[in-house]
Amino acid sequence: MRLVDAISGGADLAIGSRKLQDSVILQPQPLVRRILGSTYAALARALLQTTERALQCGCKAFRRSLWDALSVNCDGFAFDTELVAKAHKKGFAIAEVPITWRNNADSKVKVRRDVLAMLKCLLAIRAEIRR
């Protein structure tokens, strides 16, 4: 409901964030996943020049006008990073909202398989938004 409330309040894109003070973590990720996630987010923010912290939480809501104005090319796990970075670059109003979150032990992210693909997408997104 908080995501919808943020959109109703004027945001074009609402992002659920585990990093906010009012967020509730019912079951945290293992330490290695937290380190990898923080590293990815810091690298993405640096490469894409965005300030949003929750690039990949998966909890997002957005206006249809935002979706129609952006072209998202990455599939897989960098999809939402590209959406946030392009929305940020185009000046859309972005709100981060606290969420209640629980780690999914059955996560589909596989570090060995997905890290290089995600890095490749970050570099492609960076090249596109710099044009």
**Are β-strands 60-62 and 94-98 bridged in parallel, bridged antiparallel, or unpaired?**
unpaired
Confidence (pTM): 0.85
Q: Could you tell me if 97 and 15 are in contact, meaning their C-beta atoms sit under 8 angstroms apart?
A: yes
Both structure tokens of 42: 């810091």
Q: What is the pLDDT of residue 86?
A: 92
Residue with tokens 């990073």: 81
Mean pLDDT, each 10-residue run in order, the chain (131 residues): 94 92 91 86 89 80 93 83 91 94 78 80 90 80
Q: What is the pLDDT of residue 130?
A: 86
Q: What is the pLDDT of residue 70?
A: 92
Q: What is the pLDDT of residue 78?
A: 83
Q: What's the rounded Cα separation, in Å, for the pair 119 and 26?
A: 29
